[in-house]
Amino acid sequence: MAASAWLARRAVVQGVLPAARHAVVPADYPVPATRRVALRNFVALAPVAPPVMADVETPVVTQEASSMWLQLGAFSSPENAEAFRVRALASLQWNREPIDVSARDGLYRVRLGPYRNRQEATAIAEKVRESLGFAPSFSNR
């Protein structure tokens, strides 16, 4: 092997020169100690598989026939109903249930619920009366 070829291969192995596409370094070529340390500390990262999504069964919640709603107001325009819903949300900060706007018969009703029974609805209605200054009406639909 010529001295210049040996020096070129050594420079490629040490990382001083980039390897040419046609340059081949023999497998038994001695690697310098500094290069061996670098290779020993190198950790190859395997491709990570995407996480597997777990299938979770959740019960379907349906509205029962005997459910009770508390109607806070009824409006002829959806904008007014939404504005009142936002005001009620701010006034009823203790409430952890959504305040719903439902449209039926040309009216937009702002309501809370559904509640399982009249006793539960009555307890919440009393808290609403204290917070808003008026008593909501009871509704079955």
Q: Please, what's the largest Cα pairwise distance for the chain?
A: 101
Torsional sign, CA 70, 73, 78, 83: negative
Give Cα 69 distance to the centre of its chain. Answer: 30
pLDDT digits (tens, 9 = 90+) for 51-73: 777 776 666 555 455 588 999 99
**Does residue 44 sit within a domain?**
no
Residues of the chain where predicted confidence (pLDDT) is lower than 70: 1-46, 56-66
The boundaries of the domain holding residue 132 are: 68-139
**Does residue 88 sit within a domain?**
yes
**Does residue 90 sit within a domain?**
yes
CATH number of residue 81's parent domain:
3.30.70.1070
The whole-model pTM stands at 0.52
**Does residue 76 sit within a domain?**
yes
**Does residue 40 sit within a domain?**
no
Domain total in the chain: 1
For residue 52, the model assigns a pLDDT of: 76
**Does residue 63 sit within a domain?**
no
**Does residue 107 sit within a domain?**
yes
Cβ(128)–Cβ(70) under 8 Å?
yes
**Does residue 123 sit within a domain?**
yes
